[in-house]
Structure formats: structure tokens, C-alpha cells
Chain A
Amino acid sequence: MATQAETDATSPKHLRDKYAIVGVGETTYTRGSGITTRALGSWAVRNAIEDAGLKPADVDGMLSYQSGDSTFGTFIAGDLGIRPNFYMDVFGGGSSTEALIGIAIGVIEAGMCKTVAIFRAMNGFSQVRIGGTGARAAAPVAGDALHGRAYGWQSAGQMFAPTFMRHMYDYGTRPEQVAAVKAIHSEHASNNPKAFYKERYTVDDVLKSRFICKPLHLLDCCVETDNATAIIVTSADRARDGRHPRVLIRGVVGRCNKPRTDMHYQHGPISTVAGHYAREILWPNSGVGPEDIDVTGSYDAFTFTTMLQLEDYGFCKKGEGGAYVSDGTIRLGGRRPNNTSGGHLCEGYTHGMNMVIENVRQLRHDVDDSCPVGPDGKRQHTYDYREGGCRQVKKCDLTANLGWANPGTGSAMVMRRD
């Protein structure tokens, strides 16, 4: 009988460290932007180009992702005077960022263009609600959706919940362990002036917030916001002329899946997520392992998604994710902080790109916290992580981003400081 192919999908190692992220940018994170996704997108891409020390004419590739809720790359290119030699707008949300960075490497390697701007622009609060309320909830239930939406099973939280519940059943994971993710990310956000929610929350706050769908309380769920984010990818050679130290891409894995992508719950264990497969590509491509990583960016659409991915990518033993996320490891000052910007739970929801941006800034040793700026234009980091203080990780040479689409699909990337 045929089974899932066990092919070695790892890439040629000659691409390791040959591409870099040279610019990052974003809009403000708001609820009620008052402008179009086109205006948000051109704002973020302009900021990323400026951050890279480039001119729009230096960019000749455009990539974006969306779910029928945003503008296209051609409009952003037009607004900024970019003449693309390559562009593509792909369908999708979470897990797209790392996948598109891999695609950017591929198209540059193929000689199709030289420098790619990747963006995600969304009015995720004021237009197409990411939680699925409004227009998405009102659409007729047709065809394959009859097997899900007809049961009131539509939002991301509702659709991921069977995985989360089964993890608690299989491994004894406790509500207060998972709630620690929100508490810790909120501490990080309190040191991030641009975060939408800067207030610190406790584990108790999470557990006392109302239920959305078990096992998720309100504060286990991320924020919905309006914003755009952008990243500039080019070759490591071209990156030498940039404004910032180069951030080199060690390896990527894009939209890697569990079996039965049509309905991943058919193939168990359902408390295991796509990272279980993706890690077999990520770590060989990167030439490092989880023990080498200084900072993680594990997608926090929900508290549980952060935990499940850290576990399945091998940062702890399978089933020990609850302990890993609640023992102080992932806190600023801990052994391996996660989502130092506050992530989707607090900073803003961007379908994963803000977590890559944060790690780029960490690797530059130049996160935008409240530390004083010195005469060289760089922040003088204090490493005092109290509320309103520093969020720069003292030793940050290698980072891992773990992107999440759903329990069955994920992407990941390792970056390093030059």
C-alpha cells in the first residue's frame, strides 16, 4: 500500500547564508486604520525599503499573501515606482512569511530578479475580521464547507480546538501552563512601544477571562488589528551595502504538511502538528539544532500554537510543551525567549510577519524598545526587562521562526547574525 512519501526534502546546502533580510518595516498597529490595504501596504514597503537603505528602483520583485482581503503587489509597486521583474500574490495567511522568503530565494537564485519585497497588508479588524465574524460568517455554506461550517465550526479557534484538547488529554497539559504564554508575551509587549496591547496580564487574568471555545479563553486568543508589514530579501553579497548588519538566512521550510491536507484530523496523533515533519527539513537545511537557537518566534495565534510548535520542532520533549512554556525559558531573561515583541497575542496580528521582523531586529541587536539612543544612532540597551524597559536579548546570534497555518500546515526559518 502506498503511504506518504518519505523523501529527503532538504535543500542544497550551498544556499545556506547566501541570502539575507536587509530591510524590515511596518505601519502602526491599530484597530480602525481609516485607510485602504493599498495605503497600508505601500506605507510598510516604503518603510522596509528605507530601513534597507535602498531606493524603490532597487527592488525588482514583489511577493504578497492574502485571503481575498487585500491589495495586490502590482498596486504597491505602482504606488512606489517599483518596476517588478517578478511578482506573485499567493493565497494564504499564517505560515506564508517563511514560505515566501524561501520563494524569494528561489526566484533570485533562478535569475528572475535581484531584490524582493514581501508584504502582508490587512484591515483584520475594520474590514475582513480575522476571527471570522461579519462577512465571512454570513457567506452561504457550500460544498466542502458543509462538513465544517454547517456545524458552527468555522473560526480558527474552533477549528484548532480539537488538537489543543487532545494534547491536554494525551499529555496532561494544564490550562495554567498554556496561559503562561499570554502572560509572558504581554510582559514582552509592555517593553514594545508600538504594541497594540502593552498591558501586562497574569496567568490568573487569562484563566478568569470568558470562554471563547474550550480550551480557549478570550486571553488565549490573539488580537485582531489593522496593519501592514514588509521584508526585503536579497543576496548576501548585495546585502553588504545595507544600512544594518546583515541578517543571513540559514534555512527555510515552507508550508510543510501532515498527511491528509484535505482534512488533517483523519491522520493522528492529532496532538502532533506539522512541525513534526517540518523539523526534518528545517534543522538539516540550517545546519543547527534547537539547542543552538537563542530566540524563537513561535506563532501565537493562540497560546496553544506557540506551545505545540516549540514542542514538535524539538525545543523540548514531546508532551513537555506545557512545562517548557511555563518554566521561564521563553521569558525575556530566560534561556530562550519567544516572541519578544509580544507577538500576535499583544503586538498585533499580521499572519506571522511581525515575528520575523522582530527577530531581524534582535539579530541586529537593535530592537525598538525604550532604551536611550546613543550618539551612533543605536540604542544603548540596558537589559533591564522590567515593565517599560529593554527587550533586547543580550546574546542573540541565531533565531528560529515557526509559522503556523493550522495544525496540519506550518513553515519555519532559521536566521543568523553575520
Chain B
Amino acid sequence: MAVHGTYLGMPLDINDLDVENLAYFKHCASHDFHLQRCAACGLLRYPPTTACPWCASPKAQWMPVEARGAVHSYTEVHHAIQPAFKAHTPYLVLLVDLDTQKGKPSEHEALRVLGNLVQPNGTLAPQDMVKRVGIGTRVRMVFSDVAPGLALPQWTIDDSAPQPEKVWRYPIE
């Protein structure tokens, strides 16, 4: 069934036909991250697709995935484009390499999952937290609840993981 919600004032929609995204975000709504695992070659993939990017098989199962990893790259947005984000600048968009399946099927591939830097409760991170994060920061997934059947996967600093001594940030603050 179609899902409709509002997040930071933005309408978010998934229609009836989009069964891949419905399943993906339904798991997120349960705060339980799942990805499709190819029934033929066994590889996980992100974001949801209708066939396997490596072997083209249409068959897949949704599998629970340990959602921890390290920041691969990021941007720090100071000039928001969407009105919803203007009150929250600067905010971080993180591209995170999951530990799960990193370096597979080839050296430079990874499940690179997007999200904002948020507090553990899923609200966008305050400025002192934004300044602590860069390439290399260890993060864990949390969720921003939107509506029944829809939560957005997000990232927060993983306080239980050993952090690198220094993370890489853009040289001009």
C-alpha cells in the first residue's frame, strides 16, 4: 500500500507499484536495516534495485544488515536548496562505507549508504557535532521516523567504536 509522510515540511511519497522502496522503508520504520541479497550470486546491494547489478538476477531476499561503517566522503551544506533544510545549516550529508561487504565484489566497491549526520534520536546534528566528523569517522545507523511504513536511515557518531586519532575535514572551517 502506498505510503505518504511529511519530513521537515517536505512531502515524502512511495506509490503502490514501488514494491522495492516500500519494503526497504518498511524495515527502516521498524528500525531494522535490511538490504536485498541476490538469490543467485549472494551479494547485497544498495539502494534498492529491481535486479542484481552484478549478475542481473531478478530474485532477491531482504536480509538484516549490520549498519556500521566509516565515512567515505561527505559534504557540509551551508546554503540549503530545499526550504526544509534552511533552518538546519550547516548540515552534513555523509556517504558511509558499510563494514558489511566492503571491498566486494571488487577492491573499490562498497555498500555506500547516504544519510545526514544526526543525533541518536534521529534529529539533525548540532554544530559542535558537525565539526567532529570527517572522512574516517566511525558511525552507526539510527533512524528518523516519518510515518507508519517510512523512516529514513541516518548516521550518528559510533561512541562504542574506536575512532581514528584524526579524521579528514575540508581544510577551511
Instruction: Give residues in A with beta carbon < 8 Å to B.
Output: 1-3, 131-133, 137-138, 140-144, 146-155, 158, 161-163, 165-166, 168-169, 174-175, 207, 210-215, 259-260, 262-263, 265-270
Q: Name the residue of chain B whose CB is nearest to the CB of A260.
A: B53
Q: A137 and B135 in contact (CB under 8 A), knowing A147-B114, A151-B93? A: no
For the complex formed, measure the closest distance between the CB of B54 and the CB atoms of chain A, giving whole angstroms. 6
Residues of A within 8 A of B53 (CB): 259-260, 262, 266
Contact A141 B77 (CB under 8 A): no
Q: Name the CB-closest residue of A to B47.
A: A147
Query: In the complex, are the beta carbons of A166 and B135 less than 8 A apart?
Result: yes
Task: Check A262–B83 contact: CB distance below 8 A.
Answer: no
The answer on a CB contact under 8 Å between A148 and B21 is: no
Query: A residues within 8 A CB of B168?
Result: 169
Answer whether residue B158 sits at the interface, using C-beta atoms and an 8 A cutoff.
no
Tell whether, in the assembled complex, residue A2 and residue B75 are in contact, meaning their CB atoms are under 8 Å apart. no
A contact residues around B111 at 8 Å (CB):
266
Known contacts A152-B88, A162-B93, A165-B73; 7 further A-B pairs (Cβ under 8 A): A141-B11, A147-B47, A152-B77, A155-B81, A165-B75, A175-B172, A266-B53
Verify if B112 is at the interface (C-beta below 8 Å from A): yes
Q: Which 10 A-B pairs have the closest CB atoms?
A: A268-B108, A161-B75, A162-B73, A152-B85, A211-B78, A140-B11, A166-B73, A142-B13, A214-B76, A213-B77
Q: Can you offer 28 A-B residue contacts whose CB atoms are under 8 A?
A: A133-B81, A140-B11, A141-B7, A143-B14, A146-B14, A148-B114, A150-B7, A151-B93, A151-B115, A152-B84, A152-B88, A152-B93, A161-B74, A161-B93, A162-B74, A166-B135, A174-B171, A210-B79, A211-B78, A211-B79, A212-B79, A213-B77, A213-B79, A214-B170, A265-B95, A266-B46, A269-B108, A270-B72
Which of B18, B73, B170 contacts A143, CB < 8 Å?
A: B18
Interface size on B, residues (CB 8 A): 54
A140 touches B10 (CB 8 A): yes
How many whole Å from A176's CB to the nearest CB in chain B? 10
Closest A residue, CB atoms, query B11: A140
CB of B15 within 8 A of chain A? yes
| A133: nearest chain-B partner, CB-CB | B81
Query: Smallest distance from the beta carbon of A267 to chain B beta carbons, Å?
Result: 5
The main secondary structure of chain B at its interface with chain A is: mixed
Any chain A CB within 8 A of the CB of B63?
no
- The reply to whether A267 and B171 contact each other, CB–CB distance below 8 Å, is no
**Docked complex Cα distance between A163 and B75 (Å):** 9
Q: Are A131 and B110 in contact (CB under 8 A)?
A: no
A153→B84 CA distance, assembly (Å): 12
B160 interface residue, CB < 8 Å from A?
no
Using Cβ atoms and an 8 Å threshold, which residues of chain B touch A153? 75, 93, 114
Across-interface contacts of A174 in B (CB, < 8 A): 171
Residues in B with CB closer than 8 Å to A143 are 13-15, 18, 21
Nearest A residue to B95 via CB reads A162
Give Cα distance in the complex from A63 to B82, angstroms. Answer: 33
Q: Which residues of B contact A (CB under 8 A)?
A: 7, 10-15, 18, 21, 25, 41, 45-47, 49, 53-56, 72-85, 88, 90-91, 93, 95, 105-106, 108-112, 114-116, 135, 152, 168, 170-172
**How far does the alpha carbon of A138 sit from the alpha carbon of B9 in the complex, in Å?**
10
Q: Give, as a whole number of angstroms, the nearest-CB distance from A165 to chain B.
A: 5
User: Are B152 and A151 neighbours in the complex by a CB distance under 8 Å?
Assistant: yes
Contact A214 B75 (CB under 8 A): yes
B35: min CB distance to chain A, Å? 12
Q: Which of B11, B82, B112, B172 has the most CB of A within 10 A?
A: B82
Evaluate contact between B14 and A142: CB separation under 8 angstroms: yes
Q: Which residues from B are CB-within-8-Å of A270? A: 72-73, 95, 112
A151 near B116 (CB under 8 angstroms)? yes
Chain B residues whose CB sits within 8 angstroms of the CB of A1 once the complex forms? 41, 54-55, 105
Please give, as numbers and ranges, the residues of chain B lying within 8 Å of A169 by CB-CB distance. 73, 135, 168
- How many Å from the CB of B149 to the closest CB on chain A? 12
The distance in angstroms between the C-alpha atoms of A155 and B77, with both chains bound, is 11
Q: Which residues of B contact A142 (CB under 8 A)?
A: 12-15
B residues within 8 A CB of A262?
Answer: 47, 49, 53
Name B82's contact: one of A146, A149, A162, A269 (CB within 8 Å).
A149
- Kindly state the separation between the CA atoms of A184 and B49 in the bound complex, as whole angstroms: 43
Chain A contacts for B73, CB-based, 8 A: 161-163, 165-166, 169, 270
- Chain A residues contacting B82 (CB-CB under 8 Å) are 137, 149, 152, 154
- Which residues of chain B are within 8 angstroms of A133 by Cβ–Cβ distance? 81
Contact present for B135 and A165 (CB under 8 Å):
yes
Residue in A148, A175, A211 whose CB lies within 8 Å of B171: A175
A162 cross-chain contacts in B, Cβ below 8 A: 72-75, 93, 95
